[in-house]
Structure 1
Amino acid sequence: MKNESFIRDNFLLQNKYARELYFNYAAHQPIIDYHCHLSPKEIAEDKVYDNIFQLWIAGDHYKWRAMRTLGVNEKYITGDASDKEKFIAWARTVPNTLRNPLYHWTHLELKRYFGIDELLNEESAERIYESVNEQLKQPENSCRGLLKKMNVKALCTTEDPIDSLEHHQALAKSGFQIKVSTAFRPDKAILIENEIYNDYLDQLEKAADFPIQTYQDLKDALRKRIEYFDANGCKLCDHGLSKISFEVFTDSEVSEIFVKKRDGETLTSLEIEKFKASILLFLGETYHEFSWVQQFHLGALRNNNSRMHNILGPDTGWDSIGDSNQAEPLSKFLNALDSKNKLTKTILYNLNPANNEIFASMIGNFNDGSVMGKIQYGSGWWYLDQKDGIIAQLNSLSNIGLISCFIGMLTDSRSFLSFPRHEYFRRILCNLFGEEMESGVLPNDIDLVGKVISDISYNNANEYFNF
């Protein structure tokens, strides 16, 4: 039996002001998705997906965590069950995700990409599986077609310094009308405490085409790769760290620490922090030289379940919110760059909601009038890109900074069906402003408020990144 449509035109829009703001100022704005983990290879090859599992569930650890919580056997998540069996296992899970953002995202994505209004559950699973699979045979539902369908103007994937960027090069020559750029992600060169650090440097040696035996060699190799990324159109970098490291160090100390690591010796926690402080400052100054935007995703506690991490590897659903001390080292790091006038445009993302006001107030310390919104408090991400998390971030930024300068939403996703999250964000944004217009907290001036909505939805990001 077909259910009455859940995702209606006025979904999340609770009054006339919210609806007018959304439909007149937000809904038709193009999407700039300036941070994601999509595969440039699949975009370059314009991949056609065999079925909805491959497109929608494979690699999505948000869904995996929900399924594990419900007691679904790993066979039906990352194991050897068939794609159809895994999809049906997800469909059985969906009704139990009520009040989790997965419930909203699931039905937004089915509706926007495939016109499916029916609620996904065990009873509807096979119908929806077959319907979507049939639609995936159509040219408009190839990888690039899915991006066009969502009015994407530009997106930015995330690559390691050792990446050849061959797929971005192919895209640049292809004439594809959507701008596909990359972001430089050097975490593996920063996290010297990792057991595989020396193995990674061996790979970086090959990419840089010279041996890395000293700390100066490492900096030279990273700079060479930054030059290579820049020559291939890169204008952003990204870092996924538990926190910013900042300890006072000398160049000779850091050089000795690096040699110790290369020789296989154990480092103290202080030595680790000094090294990371040094390499982050070097990178920050280099990003400024190349006029890049630097991004810091801070606050995750990663790989908590060592048993499952050893079986499945990273980014498979074993990470959570951390409680690292953020404010003081972050302030010292930004100040060290700013004191040399080498602080580039910066976006700070916070994963711990207890730190919202810390981040919202931190950006004001280093906005120097040179660029509108030079230092940004990024949108709610990962565990905070749900309704309450989005509203909390918007409220913190509004109360302490200028929401009118905000550059808006991103997907941070590995799924080509994730772009309705921009719609989700825009609807929540418009409803927040609409409710305050109705209550008289904001003036009944639709053009005034509408301009702020349009700017947050698209204009500010378009100007900030200049894609």
Structure 2
Amino acid sequence: MTAPFLGPDFLLDTAASRRLYHDVAKHLPIVDFHNHLDPAAIAKNKSWRSIGEIWLEGDHYKWRAMRWNGVPEELVTGAADYRDKFDAFAQTIPHCLGNPLYHWTHLELQRYFQWDGVFGPDTADEVWELANAALTQPSRSAQGLLTAMNVEYVGTTDDPTDDLAWHAALKSDPDFTVPVAPSFRPDKALVPTAPGFAAYCRKLGEASGIAVDSFDTLIAALLKRLDFFVSLGCKAADHGLNDLPAFEKRPPRELDIILRSGQNGWPMSAQDAADFKAAVLIELGEAYAERGIVMQYHIGVLRNQNSRLFRALGPDVGGDCMSDSGIGESLNSVLDLINSRKGLPRTILYALNPIHNEMLVTIAGNFQDGSEPGKVQAGPGWWYNDQLDGMERQLTQVAQMGLLSRFVGMLTDSRSFLSFPRHEYYRRLVCRMVGRWVEDGSIPAHKELSDGLIRRISYENARDWFLPEA
């Protein structure tokens, strides 16, 4: 018999998986420890005028699919009306069969708007009217959407120079109790060859009150800002490491020269840039350990590869892809140097290229030290890998080469306030996996084992890392 599309038992193909999801996973809160939501939108309790706006604004997953379907840029990121963009997306969705966007789109319509049809050109008018009417309700404002999905923690992504005014406003708001914590993202301080490096050093100096004129003052300025972040609830730092080349340890006077070269736009070798990046990472890693901050490394992106698109629209618009550069030796070296001096902080490692999954799991195993379970993690399937095959592959490798029960769980990594059904997608998948293990005799049919595993990797492990006072 054909199963209903995205029905109650979607992905749940055994009795054990159905019980695990419906009885254990389904109603657990969400700890979304890494996303790109706008804290101002949360603090202002933003409302959206249309489903076109909330669905398509800033969502490069959808933009890539629309371009792939032959939609002109005017209807993707251009000045066209959101209704026209929405219609172009409706034309695209029927061509997304097999892409996670197809599932995500329909799960969002089901969970936020209680619409369980099949979205496409024939139903676009119906969805437009129904969703727009719902978006006028307080329960579909920014804060209402988070509450509706039982979100218990939001970790945004923030530059060290940000004033965090909206985080401060949220922290003092007695009517909204979901913690929205900044995460420290100092990427612009790591790359002295970047065109804006000098301007960024000046901006960092102004924000910190410390003139950045040496490597030591750069670190001092970053740490002063890190402490400010911590005062507003920061629990995590994040580093977007497009690559991590081999490096050498350099004395402070040589790092000073590299910094000045970057500030003045002088020629610099790739080796100098690599050594500088590693030196900053090591200093920050030690600081995270001292302050109890979770350190995240997102590794292996080739960014802005479509130069024409980048010139027209800037970064983060759908022109990024996987890198195939090697990272193992240098990543081990960075972690080892941090660990050798003051011990590693809790760490999550993400790789965009799935060929690196097993390597990250085994690297994580190198640095477990018995101080706490799963102290170093191979993080969840990231970006192009947060689909069913990518997540299952990553979870299987964690289970086989590490301890799945200590896995920190799922995140959205999204700019969209409608992206939280991705946690459901993940939970249904892990219940399918564990349910199959029970049914085929791979693990005992003991509820305390299977239920405990599902609770931990769906919610409890992330809660314990990011909401330890809970």
Which of the five TM-score ranges fits, normalised by the shorter chain?
over 0.9
Are 2:317 and 1:316 aligned? yes
Cα distance in 1 between the residues matched to 2:191 and 2:60: 23
Are 2:28 and 1:53 aligned? no
TM-score (norm 2): 0.97
Residue 138 of structure 2: aligned partner:
139
Partner SS for 1:373: coil
- Per-residue CA deviations over 1:356-376 (Å, capped at 9, x if unaligned) read 110111101101000111101
Residue 414 of structure 2: aligned partner:
413
What letter is aligned with 1:257?
I
What letter is aligned with 2:312?
I
- Comparing 442-451 with 424-433, greater Cα deviation is found at 442-451
Aligned residues: 464
- Per-residue CA deviations over 1:336-379 (Å, capped at 9, x if unaligned) read 11111331110001111111110111101101000111101110
Where does 1:31-70 land on structure 2 (aligned, <5 Å)? Answer: 31-70=30-69
1:326 Cα shift?
1.1
Residue 402 of structure 1: aligned partner:
403
Cα distance in 2 between the residues matched to 1:247 and 1:97: 46
Where does 1:33-182 land on structure 2 (aligned, <5 Å)? Answer: 33-175=32-174, 176-182=176-182
Cα distance in 1 between the residues matched to 2:204 and 2:197: 10
Partner SS for 1:169: helix
1:7 Cα shift?
2.0
Residue 192 of structure 2: aligned partner:
192
Cα distance in 2 between the residues matched to 1:201 and 1:341: 27
Are 2:214 and 1:214 aligned? yes
1:5 Cα shift?
5.9
1:450 Cα shift?
1.1
1:6 Cα shift?
2.2
Where does 1:436-451 land on structure 2 (aligned, <5 Å)? Answer: 436-451=437-452
Cα distance in 2 between the residues matched to 1:228 and 1:127: 48
% identity of equivalent residues: 45
8 Å contact kept, 2:193–2:265: no
Cα distance in 2 between the residues matched to 1:314 and 1:71: 21
Q: Which runs of 5+ in 2 are unaligned?
A: none
1:55 Cα shift?
0.9
8 Å contact kept, 1:242–1:324: no
- Comparing 97-106 with 51-60, greater Cα deviation is found at 51-60
8 Å contact kept, 2:258–2:276: yes
Partner SS for 1:6: coil
1:220 Cα shift?
1.5
- Per-residue CA deviations over 1:256-302 (Å, capped at 9, x if unaligned) read 11112222201110110111111111111111121111001111111
Partner SS for 2:157: strand
8 Å contact kept, 1:213–1:262: no
- Per-residue CA deviations over 1:180-239 (Å, capped at 9, x if unaligned) read 111000001112221111122222122112322222221111111111111111121001
8 Å contact kept, 1:157–1:182: yes
Partner SS for 2:361: helix
What letter is aligned with 1:283?
L
8 Å contact kept, 2:241–2:299: yes
Residue 341 of structure 2: aligned partner:
340
Where does 1:347-426 land on structure 2 (aligned, <5 Å)? Answer: 347-426=348-427
Cα distance in 1 between the residues matched to 2:207 and 2:302: 30
Cα distance in 2 between the residues matched to 1:25 and 1:266: 58
- Per-residue CA deviations over 1:293-327 (Å, capped at 9, x if unaligned) read 10011111111111110110000000001012111
Where does 1:23-38 land on structure 2 (aligned, <5 Å)? Answer: 23-38=22-37
Off by >6 Å, runs of 4+ in structure 1: none
- Comparing 341-350 with 377-386, greater Cα deviation is found at 341-350
Residue 223 of structure 1: aligned partner:
223
Partner SS for 1:356: helix
Cα distance in 2 between the residues matched to 1:258 and 1:233: 31
Cα distance in 2 between the residues matched to 1:121 and 1:335: 52
Partner SS for 2:116: coil
Q: Which runs of 5+ in 1 are unaligned?
A: none
8 Å contact kept, 2:244–2:274: no
